[in-house]
Structure 1
Amino acid sequence: MTPVIWVGGVLVDATQPSVSAVDHGVTVGDGVFETCRVDDGAPFALTRHLARLRRSAEGLGLDAPDDGTIRCAVREVLAAAPDAGRLRITVTAGLGPLGSQRTPGEQTIVVAASEAGASRPARVVRAPWVRNERSAVAGLKTTSYAENVVALRYASERGGDEAVLANTHGELCEGTGSNVFVERGGELLTPPLSSGCLAGITRELLLEWAADDGLAVREAEAGELGFEVLDDVLDGRAQLLITNSVRDAQAVTSLDGVDLEAGPVSLAAEQLFARRRAAQVDP
């Protein structure tokens, strides 16, 4: 399907210019965004996504985006895109200079919907770069995605479709667009937010729903998951699962080109998430 795009209050043709060349989101990546899965015309967990959008904006020093405006835009876009499987909401600082200094003014809001794309296996590659957990934008979902583009290209060149990174302390952190869970000792562990990873919505829901269901899934203690735990995965002593808003919860099928078996807790987590997501569109 052709993407359906809303900018500044109107639907626009996807092939036509609609954002200024001097928008600060274009020139320096001064913006934030969210991506939601869409099922039968309804965006999943929209309230949580909008709350994180506000947190990211505040972390960048931007005014909180107007929920009402965005919700109206979402309804308009999805009404025009009944087959959409993916929704993206982007908010930038608006017009600005050709440098990092921000000019106060009206924000740019873009809401776009497209098909979800083909389902992909989770083939992971270890990236040689690290996340800086002390960065000014650590944990924020910003449009400054160049690091992720480079790391994902690195993974793609090696047969993967996701790259995972350590932080500056050598701890397991996250993927370029996903959170990571390690299954070992009969439980699933995910790096703590102090590692510098994004507070993923799917990660958050899996932790909550697993607690409700009695499934052994928890946030690791600081330092509990070193990046070397991936050696245990390669040796079969541990397993991997990744989560994001399009994949949901997905067991990893290969690491650095080595085929992996899914762990029993990972498979149970996949099933739990699918069941709970189907039962509630905006948990």
Structure 2
Amino acid sequence: MKAWLDGDVLQSPHEPAIGVLDHGLVVGDGVFETVAVEQGEPFALTRHLDRLVRSAEGLGIGTPDVALLRSGVAETMAGQELEFGRVRITVTSGVGPLGSPRGSSDLTHVVVTEPCERPPAVAGIVTVPWPRNERGALAGLKTTSYAENAKMIEVARAAGASEAVMPNTQGHLCEGTGSNIMYVLDGRLVTPTLASGCLAGITRALALEWLSEEMDVEEVDAPIEVLQEASEVILVGTTRNLQAIARVDDRVLDAPGPITRQAQEIWARRQAENPDP
């Protein structure tokens, strides 16, 4: 693992580096991206950096220095043999007061890169009752305000699942704590619309683009109970890619199903063509 802060590689990722008044620490005032590393190459880095900028500007903290962050990615990857790994890019609003109002300091830019294990090919999910607010101030932004997600994923892990999936305030299926979701209903591959309040996932966007060229894929909002009717369920995310789901709450599915396998084959083929699509 290597860590970098505002242009400098740290001697150790455990080295004290960010002050106690950084607003990212004080109130979670920041944005982030997680980028998968495949065979030593960050995947879809440009798309992730573009979304980081959108999130930061949407949050109102300003525009991150993308060129500086690219150098941080390169410097933290250098010297690491990364067959598979992840890059965590974080930008906060910088030093601020002990309260919600922001200060006037420069943004804080952080990059950490580490090897990691691939998620299992098949996993389980649980649905949780706490809704994502599709009309909230942070809707559609990838911010560091993740305590709600942390609580949900711990509930999932306690139930022997790898992800928690939530509704929105209308009771419609929305997303996982760190993933988008797709499911198969009547032979069609379906995913919630962005109007549901789900994050505009990078993997989600690429999957919609690539799969729709060869499969019937739809964006539809439906009650979260649709997962109890679906013949197949897929989690979609940066390190998961397209992960087959074998259990939804107490319901067991045959996974991966035929449509999931077809989607995974298309994804693997297209992903191998270009590391920065």
Using the TM superposition, name which of 255-264 and 144-153 deviates more: 255-264
Q: How does 1:89-168 map to 2 (within 5 A)?
A: 89-120=89-120, 121-168=122-169
Aligned residues of 2:119 and 2:239 also touching (Cα < 8 A): no
Cα deviation for residue 81 of structure 1 reads: 2.3
2:103 match: secondary structure? coil
Aligned counterpart for 1:275 among listed residues 269, 273, 276: 269
2:270 match: secondary structure? helix
Could you tell me which amino acid in structure 1 is paired with residue 127 of structure 2?
A: R
Aligned residue number for residue 236 of structure 2: 243
Could you tell me which amino acid in structure 2 is paired with residue 37 of structure 1?
A: A
Aligned residue number for residue 8 of structure 2: 10
Aligned residues of 2:140 and 2:199 also touching (Cα < 8 A): yes
Structure 1: runs of 5 or more not aligned: none
Aligned residues of 1:127 and 1:164 also touching (Cα < 8 A): yes
Aligned residues of 2:35 and 2:88 also touching (Cα < 8 A): yes
Within 2, Cα distance between the matches of 1:80 and 1:63? 32
Distance 1:196 1:241, change over 3 A: same
Aligned residues of 1:36 and 1:45 also touching (Cα < 8 A): yes
Q: How does 1:122-271 map to 2 (within 5 A)?
A: 122-212=123-213, 214-220=214-220, 224-233=221-230, 238-262=231-255, 263-271=257-265
Q: How does 1:55-66 map to 2 (within 5 A)?
A: 55-66=54-65
Aligned residues of 1:24 and 1:94 also touching (Cα < 8 A): yes
Aligned residues of 2:228 and 2:251 also touching (Cα < 8 A): no
2:182 match: secondary structure? strand
CA RMSD of aligned residues (A): 1.2
Cα deviation for residue 277 of structure 1 reads: 0.8
Cα deviation for residue 267 of structure 1 reads: 1.5
Aligned residues of 1:41 and 1:79 also touching (Cα < 8 A): no
2:130 match: secondary structure? strand
Within 2, Cα distance between the matches of 1:42 and 1:81? 11
Cα deviation for residue 190 of structure 1 reads: 0.6
TM, length-normalised to structure 2: 0.95
Aligned residue number for residue 35 of structure 1: 34
Could you tell me which amino acid in structure 1 is paired with residue 47 of structure 2?
A: R
CA shift digits 1:96-123 (9 cap, x unpaired): 1111101121111110111122423321
Cα deviation for residue 91 of structure 1 reads: 0.3
Aligned residues of 1:158 and 1:257 also touching (Cα < 8 A): no
1:129 match: secondary structure? coil
1:25 match: secondary structure? helix
2:143 match: secondary structure? coil
Cα deviation for residue 272 of structure 1 reads: 1.0
CA shift digits 1:67-108 (9 cap, x unpaired): 111111111111132326111100000101111101121111
Structure 2: runs of 5 or more not aligned: none
Within 2, Cα distance between the matches of 1:40 and 1:232? 38
Aligned residue number for residue 19 of structure 1: 18
| Runs of 4+ residues over 4 Å off in structure 1 | none
Could you tell me which amino acid in structure 2 is paired with residue 22 of structure 1?
A: L
Within 2, Cα distance between the matches of 1:17 and 1:99? 22
Within 2, Cα distance between the matches of 1:124 and 1:69? 37
Aligned residues of 2:185 and 2:229 also touching (Cα < 8 A): no
Query: How many correspondences in the alignment?
Result: 273
Using the TM superposition, name which of 150-159 and 113-122 deviates more: 113-122
Could you tell me which amino acid in structure 1 is paired with residue 13 of structure 2?
A: A
